[in-house]
Amino acid sequence: MNIMPNNLKRQYDLHASEYEKKAIEVLRGGWYILGNEVKKFEKEFAQYVGAKYCVGLASGLDALWMSFRILNIGEGDEVIVCGNAYIACVMGISMNGATPVFVEPDEYDNINADLIEAAITPKTKAILAVHLYGQSCDMTKIMDIAHIYNLKVVEDCAQSHGNKWKGQTVGTFGDIGCFSFYPSKGCGAFGDAGCIVTNSAELEDAFRVYRNYGSRVRYQNEVVGTNSRLDELQAGLLRVKLTHMDEFNQERNRIAEFYYNNIKNPLVQLPKIRPGADCSWHQYVVHIPGYRDRMADYLKENGIGTIIHYPIPPHLSEAYKYLGLKEGDLPLTEKYAKEVLSLPMYNGMTREEMEYVVEHINKFTV
């Protein structure tokens, strides 16, 4: 058997004719950027997460850097983010000239909210809450801290479309929720796409103007903006995806449950879900302290693909050398980078494939 870590074709096949019908409809419509499909998608996505507004953008990274730009957070400011975040989270901060300040993760692979206060300085302006792997951060604690210290909160929901913290969908707690629709994400487009959600009319308006060269009325430019427009084809296809999101998340939950009930190997630590959260399982990430690479090699030899999210933490990457951080500065983050492994997880995964993965993991010994 040959099992890929993610298999986008399988998800496509589940509803292929619906995507194909929509694609032809948009192509024949003759309007390709910022049109009715985008308008409808923005309305439907806002509804899906329970936010007042949604603005479609070109990518998740755009959503992040534009958020800090629009919140006026840049040179001389600090933004708190978890140490084991994806590099895009950190770039969203640093592209504006602001300094990322890393906080260690907790046992749920997300920012340890109990360590945030110690990282706050007079320069701190915001917390970037990254809901990594489809888990949810402790948004109650994070919002409490933000209120006490008067900080902005941006949520990175690129890996958590539709999951909830205490019944409320992530992305709606802070000032802005950022989403990516990169094809491999829980709600994936067929190319690059992203959006923000917010309950502030003022912020919504700022994003609309900023994404289109700072222009509200053609050829009248109010601010130095950018080009980050969602196209009609992606928006139309995302509208189709959105009608199946609950079904997709439920299926991923069933795969996670199968792994949880059947993986029995003392070397493998299964993911824990934070009490009060639900999980959309963007990734099913296990920890294998000491033997992660050996397990990955062994699974590969048996036709099972896995991925590491992420092997090099941002503070140790070449790109962030200038921050002056070194190995040992974030011990838990660095430990996680050496032991995490993402098991195959995708919509359309068969029972036989799940059983094959479990059987091989259980057989692994050192």
Ligand X SMILES: *Cc1c(COP(=O)(O)O)cnc(C)c1O
Q: Where along the sequence are the contacts to ligand X (CB under 6 A)? A: 59-61, 86, 88-89, 130, 156, 158-159, 180, 182, 192, 194
CB of 82 to ligand X, least distance (A): 10
At 214 the three-state DSSP class reads coil
Residue 233 or 263: the one with the smaller Cβ distance to ligand X is 233
Residue among 94 and 180 whose Cβ is closer to ligand X: 180
Cis peptide before 346 (omega within 30 of 0): no
- 192 residue type, one letter: D
Q: Which of 255, 301, 303, 249 is nearest to 278 (CA)?
A: 249
* Amino acid code (one letter) for 2: N
Residue 168 and residue 147: Cα distance in Å, rounded?
Answer: 19
Residues 180 and 63 sit within 8 Å (Cβ to Cβ): yes
Residue 251: left if φ>0, alpha if ψ -120 to 50, beta else—which one?
A: alpha
Which CB, 139 or 358, lies closer to ligand X? Answer: 139
Closest separation between CB of residue 334 and ligand X, Å?
19
Question: For residues 284 and 160, what is the distance between their CA atoms, to the nearest angstrom?
Answer: 13
HSE of 157, CA atoms in CB hemisphere, 13 A: 31
The CB-of-117 to ligand X minimum distance in angstroms stands at: 23
Residue linked to tokens 């397990």? 295
Environment class of residue 4 by beta-carbon count within 10 Å: exposed (0-12), middle (13-18) or buried (19+)?
middle
Q: Residue 328 Cβ, how far from ligand X at the closest point, in Å?
A: 25
d(CA 181, CA 160): 11
Q: At closest approach, how far in Å is the CB of 95 from ligand X?
A: 12
Which lies closer to ligand X via its Cβ, residue 109 or residue 353? 109
* Least distance from ligand X to the Cβ atom of residue 192, Å: 6
From CA 22, how far away is CA 226, in angstroms rounded?
28
Measured from each CB, the residue nearest to ligand X is 60
| Amino acid at position 343, single letter | L
Smallest distance, Å, CB 355 to ligand X?
A: 29
Q: How far is the CB of 88 from ligand X (least distance, A)?
A: 4
Cα gap 4→74, rounded to integer Å: 40
Nearer residue to ligand X within complex by CB, 54 or 89: 89
Q: Please say which residue, 186 or 344, places its beta carbon nearer to ligand X.
A: 186
Quote the CA–CA distance of 41 and 156 in Å, as a whole number.
19
CB of 86 to ligand X, least distance (A): 4
Provide the terminal-to-terminal Cα distance of the chain, rounded to the nearest Å: 23
Q: Is 79 helix (H, G, I), strand (E, B) or coil?
A: strand
The SS3 call for residue 155 is strand
CA atoms within 13 A on the CB side of 260: 11
Q: Which two tokens stand for residue 130?
A: 């990254």
Residue 242 or 263: the one with the smaller Cβ distance to ligand X is 242
